[in-house]
Amino acid sequence: MKENAENPAGLDRLVHEPARLIILTALSELESADFLFLLRLAGLTKGNLSSHLDKLEAAGLVEVEKRFVGKKTNTLIRITGSGRAAVEEHWRRLDDLRHRSLQGNPRP
């Protein structure tokens, strides 16, 4: 199954995966964040975070910029316009799903 295929509830699986939803939701509140901030906030390992960022970058939802600060490398991540739209749409669908389930009709 394709990673970004939509499930029957209308949720984008690329965004819906828990770690990626945390990353995108946090980035949607910011102009940009560095790798360490996302690592700490999401509670992921470095390899795991890199893997998720690669997938999000490949889908065009985030931009990753590697640069030098002094002699150290610093990775800066920012959400793209389509990433922001995707996460906002995702939260809207989740709210809609919750609302429907409260009314006893979970199907969209």
Partner 1 sequence: MEGSAQRARFFARYYADLQGLKKVPIGLVFLAIATGNAGLWPWFELWEPISGALVLGAGFALSWAIGRYYYGRAFGRVRRRPGIVRHGAAVTVAGLAVLVLMFVDAALLPPVSTMGLAIAAWLFAWCHEGGRRMAHYGVAGALFALASFLPLTGWVSPDDFFAVVLPALFGLVVLAGGFYDHRMLAQAMRPTVDEW
Binding site residues, partner 1, CB under 8 A: 18, 21-23, 25-47, 94
Least spacing, CB of residue 6 vs partner 1, in Å: 18
48 and 38 Cβ atoms separated by less than 8 Å: no
Phi and psi at residue 105, in whole multiples of 5°? -135, 80
Least spacing, CB of residue 95 vs partner 1, in Å: 10
Residue 1 vs 69, nearer CB to partner 1: 69
Residue 18 vs 104, nearer CB to partner 1: 18
How far apart CA 16 and CA 70 sit, in angstroms, is 37
- What does each C-alpha distance from 97 to 14, 45, 54, 76, 80 come to in angstroms? 18, 31, 29, 34, 25
Residue 4 vs 75, nearer CB to partner 1: 75
Residue 4 vs 91, nearer CB to partner 1: 91
Least spacing, CB of residue 22 vs partner 1, in Å: 4
- Smallest CA-to-CA distance from 59 within 89, 88, 93, 20 is with 20
Least spacing, CB of residue 108 vs partner 1, in Å: 18
